[in-house]
């Protein structure tokens, strides 16, 4: 309670007798001149003159002080003290006796004109919390021969609690020892309440200032309209906690409720998308672009009688309608309501108006963000294939993750293209840039590349034509891309890479490896670029993973680290098909996507494409290889030899590779050279219980000209093909067909393990 700090020096009292030229002398006049300070100073801890001075009843040369009376105040000072309600007191430290005039008695709550109390009796009159404070301050003043003062509370006989303020000074005798304390006392109840009210108002202003800062920060961090609604409905308004909050957006003359708190859902639902009628307070606030405050139900009924029938059922008694104005245009409304009638003061109205301005700016920014995001998402949905076609023998999974900042649209894309002959084409690519222009180029390039692939062009031709197409667009953009044609019957992949990432292959045993593919320049760099094809094979259950660089590269992660993380994500065990029918490849796609950076941190969008080769029904693909060799496609013969080597290695008969490759090459070359049609190559491995595995290779053509076994001379450059077949094969032959013929040979492997 005692909140006033003690002064550091002696008080100046120009009205005291010493200021009048020393009219009164002696200790009595000196006490009056220095004293009459403030509040009734109880003397704690000092029991008597003996305890302060160390003994003795009198001091030689010190005039004894007569008892004080109610009329002892000089005539020239009394009117001033009476007009200001100030009483005086005198505490004789030697005798431990406090005397006061009639005004001090009234202020302290003691009946009578004067009173005489010792220090302990006086302290007993004070509030228990204030007595120790007064005691300490008086003790220090006595010890230092200084002055002191404080507020304290005292209880009047009628039970009323009053606040009193005192100011006193300790006087010394001729030997410099404390002799008495004199001072003033006055009622400080109103003063203390005023100070308390000022303190509360200052604290409230500080709370409101802090609230505005925190609200501004929270609203600035709100990205979407939903975020703004959540922040607004959770704001703790200082000093005026509302009972209801509603945030609504103005759309085509209707109010769309974005968020509400303090209301039941069914109470708010009728107002959602309600037309804004001119007689409503919300309409007046939006029309005038000024807040509308309604302090009571009676005022609402008087000012808005047509709107009152609907408002009276809400149970509220006071409202504040705050228009949300951004860039000079009303975009919504905030409603703050109270259960009890309430007249908001100027500070409260200013706080709510400021809050409305903050919400308006945040809502405008969030609506723009949502509109841009919806535009980007819609454009991306149009550019990317809606569904991935189902192709028998393979299972695919795709993911697209937009960047975490900006327009959230870019040039990354994926595609799955069914091809003639039951094959399937896989496309993954990334157009340079991260904007709408890049997305538009991506859409054109995706359609062109899909068309080239669907026409049946081989992978190298598809990529070369796509590069020329992009160069002809003259967009100053390039694109990276990987195109892979998968033979669904045999699990062979023909891949072409244009400046893009190598694919990752998940093997049947759970291992993962980066499959090296010969690379070429990105698309659009030149019109005469040629691309090489890399062939690799899959066993049933193995998966090819294609992705864009956003998954494996960022400012915090280099490409090598990213590819290692990708291989780690692809490898390992996968769950079996769940009860809900979820395919394990979907689980794998989710696992890979989960390793990508958080959406708020990701710098680039990500396209992800997975294909698992399941193989034909019955698993025959593991023992059969079938290829068509074009009449003019001599390079296909070399590819066929590589495929045959891979197939025999997978089938577990590597000892047959050299012989089978040599003889197959002879039969295929013979068919192409001596006919004018395509040739069909077929390799099958037969396994029978208790017998050695048997490889049968057949080459069919449409020529009726049968091969003739010749005996070439020593210098002849041809004519030894059938001789090699006869010498190395376990059996061989030629069979007629409806049109053309079939040449074949068989090789036997070692004992079955």
Per-residue confidence (pLDDT) for residue 649, from 0 to 100: 84
Residue 625's pLDDT band (cuts 50, 70, 90): confident
What CATH architecture applies to the domain 17-55+66-187?
2-Layer Sandwich (3.30)
Cα–Cα distances (Å) from 590 to 216, 401, 404, 608, in that order, read 37, 11, 18, 10
Nearest to 640 by CA among 682, 685, 702, 700: 682
Q: Is 88 helix (H, G, I), strand (E, B) or coil?
A: strand
Topology of domain 619-748, per CATH?
Heat Shock Protein 90 (3.30.565)
pLDDT, tens digit, 9 for 90 and up, residues 718-737: 456 778 888 899 998 888 87
CA separation for the pair 167, 37 (Å, rounded)? 4
**Is pLDDT above 80 for 713?**
no
Rounded to whole angstroms, the Cα distance separating 302 from 534 reads: 84
Distance in angstroms (rounded) separating the CA atoms of residues 644 and 658 = 10
pLDDT at 66: 40
Q: Hunting for tokens 């220095």 — which residue is that?
A: 34
Q: Is the dihedral of CA 273, 276, 277, 282 positive or negative?
A: positive
- At 753, the pLDDT band (50, 70, 90 cuts) reads very low
Q: Is the pLDDT of residue 44 over 60?
A: no
H/E/C letters for each residue in 154-168? EECCCCCEEEEEEEE
Model confidence at 504, pLDDT cuts 50, 70, 90, reads: very high
Spatial separation of the C-alpha atoms in residues 307 and 299, rounded to whole Å: 12
User: What pLDDT shows up at residue 457?
Assistant: 86
Is the pLDDT at 34 greater than 70? The verdict is no
What is the rounded radius of gyration, in angstroms, for the C-alpha atoms of the chain? 50
For range 434-458, the mean pLDDT: 84
CATH superfamily of 203-374: GAF domain (3.30.450.40)
Higher pLDDT, 278 or 630: 278
* 126 neighbors 117 (Cβ within 8 angstroms): no
Q: What is the pLDDT of residues 224-268, one digit of tens each?
A: 888 898 888 888 777 778 888 899 998 888 888 898 888 888 888
Residues in the chain: 753
Query: What's residue 79's pLDDT?
Result: 83
The predicted structure's pLDDT at residue 118: 86
> Which range in 110-119, 220-229, 369-378 is most confidently predicted, on average pLDDT?
220-229
Q: Which of 418, 384, 416, 388 is nearest to 401 (CA)?
A: 384
* Arithmetic mean of pLDDT, 605-620: 77
612 has pLDDT over 90? yes
Domain 387-615 has CATH 3.40.50.300: no
For 574, phi then psi, to 5°, come to -120, 145
- For residue 294, give the H/E element and its range: strand 292-294
**Domain layout of the chain by residue ranges:** 17-55+66-187, 203-374, 387-615, 619-748
State which H helix or E strand residue 140 sits in. helix 131-144
Name which of 396, 618, 625 is nearest 491 in CA terms: 625
17-55+66-187 and 203-374 in the same fold = yes
pLDDT single digits (tens) 385-399? 777 888 888 999 998
Distance in Å from the first CA to the final CA of the chain? 100
Among the listed ranges 178-192, 574-588, 609-623, which one has the minimum average pLDDT value? 609-623
Which tens digit of pLDDT belongs to each residue from 60-109?
Answer: 333 333 444 444 556 777 788 888 888 888 999 888 898 888 888 888 87
Q: How many CB atoms lie within 10 A of CB 613?
A: 24
pLDDT of 380 reads: 64
Tokens 């309604």 found at = 294
731 secondary structure, DSSP code: E
Phi and psi at residue 261, to the nearest 5°: -140, 150
Cβ atoms 166, 150 nearer than 8 A: yes
| pLDDT value of residue 14 | 28
**149 φ/ψ angles, rounded to the nearest 5 degrees:** -170, 160
The pLDDT value given to residue 108: 81
What tokens appear for 324 in the block?
Answer: 């949300």
**How much is the mean pLDDT over the chain?**
78
Instruction: State yes or no: pLDDT of 579 exceeds 60.
Output: no
DSSP 706-720: PP------TT-SS--
Half-sphere exposure (Cβ direction) of 102: Cα atoms closer than 13 Å: 9
Question: CA torsion angle for 289, 290, 293, 299 (degrees, to 10)?
Answer: -70
Helix (H, G, I), strand (E, B) or coil at 506: strand
**What is the DSSP code (8-state) at residue 613?**
E
Place of tokens 């320049």: 521
């Amino acid at each position: 309670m005692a909140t006033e700090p003690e002064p550091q020096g002696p008080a100046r009292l120009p009205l005291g007798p010493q200021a009048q030229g020393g009219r009164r002398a002696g200790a009595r006049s000196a006490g009056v001149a220095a004293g009459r300070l403030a509040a009734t100073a109880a003397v704690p801890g000092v029991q008597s003159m003996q305890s302060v001075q160390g003994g003795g009843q009198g001091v030689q040369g010190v005039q004894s002080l007569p008892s004080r009376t109610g009329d002892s105040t000089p005539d020239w000072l009394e009117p001033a003290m009476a007009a200001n309600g100030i009483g005086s007191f005198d505490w004789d430290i030697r005798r431990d006796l406090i005397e006061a005039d009639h005004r001090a008695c009234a202020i302290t709550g003691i009946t009578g004109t004067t009173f005489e109390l010792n220090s302990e009796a006086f302290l007993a009159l004070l509030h228990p919390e204030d007595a120790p404070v007064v005691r300490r301050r008086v003790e220090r003043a006595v010890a230092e021969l200084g002055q002191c003062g404080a507020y304290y509370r005292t209880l009047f006989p009628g039970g009323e609690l009053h606040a009193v303020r005192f100011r006193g000074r300790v006087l010394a005798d001729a030997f410099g020892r404390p002799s008495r304390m004199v001072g003033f006392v006055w009622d400080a109840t109103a003063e203390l309440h005023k100070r308390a009210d000022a303190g509360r108002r200052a604290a409230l202003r500080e709370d409101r200032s802090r609230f505005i800062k925190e609200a501004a920060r929270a609203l600035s961090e709100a990205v979407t309209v939903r975020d703004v609604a959540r922040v607004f409905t959770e704001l703790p308004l200082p000093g005026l906690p509302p009972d209801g909050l509603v945030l609504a957006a103005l759309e085509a003359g209707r109010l769309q409720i974005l968020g509400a708190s303090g209301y039941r859902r069914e109470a708010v639902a009728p107002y959602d998308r309600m037309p804004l009628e001119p007689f409503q307070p919300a309409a007046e606030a939006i029309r005038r672009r000024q807040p509308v405050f309604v302090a009571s139900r009676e005022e609402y009924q008087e000012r808005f009688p047509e709107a009152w029938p609907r408002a009276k059922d809400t149970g509220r008694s006071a409202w504040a309608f705050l228009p949300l104005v951004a860039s000079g245009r009303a975009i919504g409304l905030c409603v703050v309501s109270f259960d009890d009638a309430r007249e908001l003061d100027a500070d409260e109205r200013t706080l709510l108006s400021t809050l409305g301005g903050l919400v308006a700016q945040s809502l405008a920014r969030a609506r723009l963000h949502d509109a841009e995001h919806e535009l980007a998402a819609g454009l991306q949905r149009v550019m990317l294939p809606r569904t991935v076609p189902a192709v028998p023998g393979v299972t695919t999974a795709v993911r697209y993750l937009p960047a975490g900042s900006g327009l959230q649209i870019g040039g990354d894309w994926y595609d799955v293209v069914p091809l003639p002959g039951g094959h399937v084409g896989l496309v993954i690519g990334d157009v340079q840039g991260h904007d709408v222009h890049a997305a538009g180029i991506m859409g054109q390039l995706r359609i062109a590349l899909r068309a080239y692939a669907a026409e049946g062009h081989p992978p190298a031709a598809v990529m070369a034509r796509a590069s020329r197409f992009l160069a002809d667009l003259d967009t100053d953009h390039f694109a990276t891309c990987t195109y892979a044609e998968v033979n669904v019957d045999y699990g062979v992949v023909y891949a072409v890479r244009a400046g893009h990432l190598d694919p990752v292959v998940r093997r049947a045993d759970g291992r993962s490896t980066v499959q090296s593919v010969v690379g070429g320049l990105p698309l659009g760099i030149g019109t005469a670029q040629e691309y090489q094809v890399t062939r690799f094979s899959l066993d049933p259950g193995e998966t090819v993973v294609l992705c864009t660089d956003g998954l494996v590269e960022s400012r915090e992660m280099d490409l090598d680290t990213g590819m290692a993380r990708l291989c780690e994500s692809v490898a390992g065990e996968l769950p079996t098909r769940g009860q809900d029918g979820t395919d394990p490849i979907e689980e794998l796609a989710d696992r890979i996507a989960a390793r990508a950076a958080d959406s708020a941190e990701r710098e680039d969008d990500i396209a992800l494409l997975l294909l698992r080769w399941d193989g034909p029904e019955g698993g025959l693909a593991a023992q059969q290889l079938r290829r068509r060799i074009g009449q003019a496609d001599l390079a296909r013969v070399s590819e066929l030899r590589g495929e045959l080597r891979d197939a025999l290695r997978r089938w577990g008969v590597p000892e047959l590779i050299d012989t089978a490759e040599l003889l197959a090459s002879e039969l295929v070359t013979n068919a192409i050279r001596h006919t004018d049609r395509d040739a069909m190559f077929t390799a099958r491995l037969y396994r029978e219980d208790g017998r050695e595995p048997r490889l049968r290779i057949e080459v069919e053509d449409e020529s009726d000209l049968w091969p003739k076994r010749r005996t070439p001379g020593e210098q002849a450059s041809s004519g030894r093909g059938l001789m090699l077949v006869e010498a190395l094969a376990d059996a061989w032959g030629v069979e007629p067909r409806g049109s053309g013929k079939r040449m074949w040979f068989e090789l036997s492997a070692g004992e079955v393990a």
